[in-house]
Amino acid sequence: MKGSHENTSRPRSPHVQVYRPQLTSVLSFGHRLSGLFLSLGAVLLVGWLLAAVTEAPAFSHLNAWLGSFLGLALLFVWTLALFFHLCNGIRHLFWDAVIGFELKTVYLTGWIVVFTSIGLTLMTWALALWRIG
């Protein structure tokens, strides 16, 4: 653990071990987690593009795996991460313009982001399944 202290025999008071999870910290951690997960998905995106323009068998293998139960589950979680990161990202962009810092607004927009991302994910999947099915 990081910190400056001369007397290393003193205990450090607990922080993440006892601090109460709140909308502020939970959504912020969700933004980071979704970003990490999306980065992995971006690698897959490049692989998918490469397979599409080069070899037919590689492309169909990849698509078949994505269509499997595991593949679809991962894609679902990936779309949820995408919409959450997108909506919360827009919330962040407003903060960077110094808009919306009153605690009331932080909580209102926070819950809006949560419900909007779930809603958009379900809508997108319904649309996609209706198109393909």
Q: Which residues bind other proteins (CB under 8 A)?
A: 1-7, 9-25, 28, 32, 35-36, 38-39, 42-43, 45-46, 49-50, 52-54, 56, 59-60, 82, 86, 89-90, 92-93, 95-98, 101-104, 106-108, 111, 124, 127-128, 131-132
Q: Residue 5 Cβ, how far from other proteins at the closest point, in Å?
A: 5
Structure tokens at 34: 């979704």
* Shorter beta-carbon distance to other proteins: residue 65 or 107: 107
* Shorter beta-carbon distance to other proteins: residue 52 or 73: 52
One-character DSSP codes across 30-59: HHHHHHHHHHHHHHHHHHHHHHHHS-HHHH
* Shorter beta-carbon distance to other proteins: residue 11 or 69: 11
Q: Residue 117 Cβ, how far from other proteins at the closest point, in Å?
A: 13
> Whole-angstrom Cα distance, residue 18 to residue 32?
21
The contacts of residue 56 (CB under 8 Å, 6+ apart) are: none
Structure tokens at 92: 């962040």
